[in-house]
Amino acid sequence: MAHSKQQGRARNQRTGKRRLPSNRRKPNYLLLFCIFALVAAVAGSLTYVFTTPRLNVAKVDIKGVRLADLKAVDKAASRAIGHNILLLRTSPILGEVGRLSEIRLVKMGRRFPNRIWLRVWERKADAVLASSGGNYLVQSDGLVFHKVSAVPKNIALVEVTGNERLRIGKTPRSASIRCALEVLKIARRQGIKLGKISVDHQGDMCLNMGGDFCVKLGQPDDIALKMSLLRNTLAHRPSIVREGTYIDLSCPSAPVWKRKVASLTAS
């Protein structure tokens, strides 16, 4: 057997021909054609999708803007007009709108074939800071975010004597303002409704609960204790708001209150 194999190899070497293996697979031309057609179809579809004017953004729907400058929001959103809806980068627009001081959160989305929606959530005002430069909406953390011409209803007014210039997008440096906002947060947790907080040039605080009844807190120390005394007083004698002129809690160990003087009429 080995001798016959050697003779076969010798004959192949003399003839110069290479023996082809009998099990060699032939190319599958149908499969190759299908792959080529699929690639061509995908390439054509992508080219159409990325170049057709039908997918160019034609309109941006904006919702949620009440305090922020609508023109500024619209200007930022209009940068999407004319761009392919699939290739549009939303991060620059979101960043520009999100830098507005009134905006807390902003989102964008696509409405095929050619519309974009933009939704903003604005900051919530916890108080209005009154200064010589005007009235400003402020969060409980002290962030000033919008200037108003009039004090909105159902929002506490904070008046602090001083010359600090309030700046939109910044937090006031005044310790009196921070203390007033802390009082407001405690009052909200305890269910005490305040209409106004005043702080004079000496730092003494006075709270107005609506009408002509006020609460004198004095210096901004033991604030939590003083507010707790106020809550307990209102719980045990809620009529004090109608009967009294003020309650003085500047000394927590000796709170006092003054009854309204009944007006005398001639008989």
Listed residues 122, 141, 174: the one ending a domain: 122
Peptide bond before 113: cis, by omega within 30 degrees of 0? yes
C-alpha–C-alpha distance, residues 118 and 266, integer Å: 68
Q: Is the pLDDT of residue 15 over 70?
A: no
Residue 265 in domain? no
Residue 40 lies in a domain: no
pLDDT for the residue numbered 267: 36
**162/230 same-domain check:** yes
pLDDT (mean) for 214-224:
94
The mean-pLDDT minimum among 29-43, 101-115, 208-222 falls in 29-43
Report percent pLDDT > 90 for the chain: 69
> Is position 73 within any domain?
yes
**Strand ranges of the sheet holding 103-111, from the earlier edge strand across to the other edge:** 59-63, 115-122, 103-111
Tens digits of residue pLDDT in 27-46: 887 888 898 888 888 887 77
Do 131 and 114 lie in one domain? The reply is: no
Do 136 and 228 lie in one domain? The reply is yes
- Mean pLDDT over residues 165-185, rounded? 93
Q: What CATH number does the domain containing 62 carry?
A: 3.10.20
Find tokens 């792959």 and name the residue. Answer: 35
Average pLDDT score over residue span 90-104: 97
Residue 174 has pLDDT above 80, yes or no: yes
The boundaries of the domain holding residue 58 are: 53-122
With a cut of 60, say whether residue 198 has pLDDT above it: yes
Cβ neighbours of residue 240 under 8 Å, at least 6 residues apart?
Answer: 213, 233, 234, 247, 257
* Same structural domain, 197 and 242: yes
Q: How many domains does the chain have?
A: 2
Instruction: Answer yes or no: do 211 and 167 share one domain.
Output: yes
Does residue 38 form part of some domain? no
Q: Over the stretch 76-95, which tens digit does the pLDDT of each residue have? A: 999 999 999 999 999 999 99
Which residue(s) pair with 199 in the sheet? Answer: 160, 205
Of 122, 141, 156, the one marking the end of a domain is 122
Q: Does 233 lie in the same domain as 154?
A: yes
Mean pLDDT to the nearest integer, 98-124: 97
In a domain, 48, yes or no: no
Check whether residue 187 and residue 230 sit in a common domain.
Answer: yes
pLDDT band at 4 (very low <50, low <70, confident <90, very high): low
> Which of 122, 148, 169 is the C-terminal boundary of a domain?
122
Q: 106 with 141, same domain? A: no
Structure confidence at residue 264 as a pLDDT band (50, 70, 90): very low
- Residues of the chain by 3-state class (helix, strand, coil), percent to 5: 35, 25, 40
- Same structural domain for residues 150 and 245? yes
132 in a structural domain: yes
Does 17 fall in a domain? no
Asked whether residue 151 carries a pLDDT value surpassing 90, the answer given is no
228-255 pLDDT, tens digit each: 999 999 999 999 999 999 999 999 999 9
Report the predicted TM-score, pTM, of the whole model to 2 decimal places: 0.79
